[in-house]
Amino acid sequence: MNWAVAHRIAGIAAAQAHRDLGIDRTRYVPVHQALKRADLVGMAQPMPRLFGVYISPADNGPAVLLNANLNIVTQRHTAAHELGHHRLGHRSAADDDLSPALRWGNGSWPEEEKTAEAFAAWFLMPRPAVLAGLDRICRGQPTSPQHVYRLARELGTSYTGTVRQLQNLRLLEADRARQWARISPSALRSSLVGGAVLPADAHVHVVTTASHLQHVHADVGDVLILQEDTVSFVSPPKGLARWTGPGQAAEMVVVTDELRGSAGLEMSASSMDEPVQLTVVRDGPRAGVHDVWPD
């Protein structure tokens, strides 16, 4: 099975999963919540060299074990990958190396791993959500890698994975996708904040007037940045603090450990009669059993 076939199979399976699990295909996909809705027993614990494990019904499942040490983006992808194994009727599977390139050195992935990996992309990045995000970010047409990075932040996905999915959706030409995939996310983060020094491993969420009534899913240390001169943050609520650092030019706030669940954030904009309002949702890696995971 080649990757094109795997993506066709996975795309259909992901759309069916969205329908069956009541997932809104126009926005950020709550994959941990989806595991619960699929009646999968979920657990996350630190595991030195493991992404995740799927236990099939034939082996007293269905259940999923996730690595609690992964960052939220990687854990979300792993959760979607394991959900793919379940929805596609696969056998029990363990992702036992932190590098897919090392795991399948010559690029010849087993068929069940190919379709589960493709399922993760289609489940987390359905076309309606991609198109809605691109419309807010760049009026529907990504013309720079920064646009793709910003889309990845809206969807809670990796930059490289988002580049590839845009190519799958035929929203990005293959040559450009190859070029952009070689750019490091750290370089894009730096370009978005004008070279300002950020917290280690921080994601950058660009906020504009188009963000009105949207949800920003962020983890502790992530920053929200304003790139419109006519917009400014109103007093940030508890859990969000103004960020000042070397080289900073634009107005930024950082997510702190005081954020519990979510918080409303307002911005004043000279072009709007009312404040721009958005909700910042804390979304960090899950740990423990799924009964204690946030929705």
- pLDDT greater than 50 at residue 281: yes
3-124 CATH? 1.10.10.2910
Average pLDDT over residues 226-241: 88
Q: What is the pLDDT of residue 101?
A: 44
pLDDT one-digit tens code per residue, 41-69:
999 999 888 899 999 999 998 999 999 99
Strand partners, 193: none
Looking at residue 83, its pLDDT comes to 97
- Residue 248's pLDDT is 66
Fold (topology level) of 196-282: Immunoglobulin-like (2.60.40)
| Percent of residues in the chain assigned helix, strand, coil, to nearest 5 | 40, 20, 40
- pTM beyond cutoff 0.85: yes
- Please list the residue range(s) of the chain that carry CATH number 1.10.10.2910: 3-124
Amino acid at 194: G
* Residue 249 confidence (pLDDT): 66
pLDDT at site 95: 77
179-189: average pLDDT: 95
Which residue spans of the chain are classified as CATH 2.60.40?
Answer: 196-282
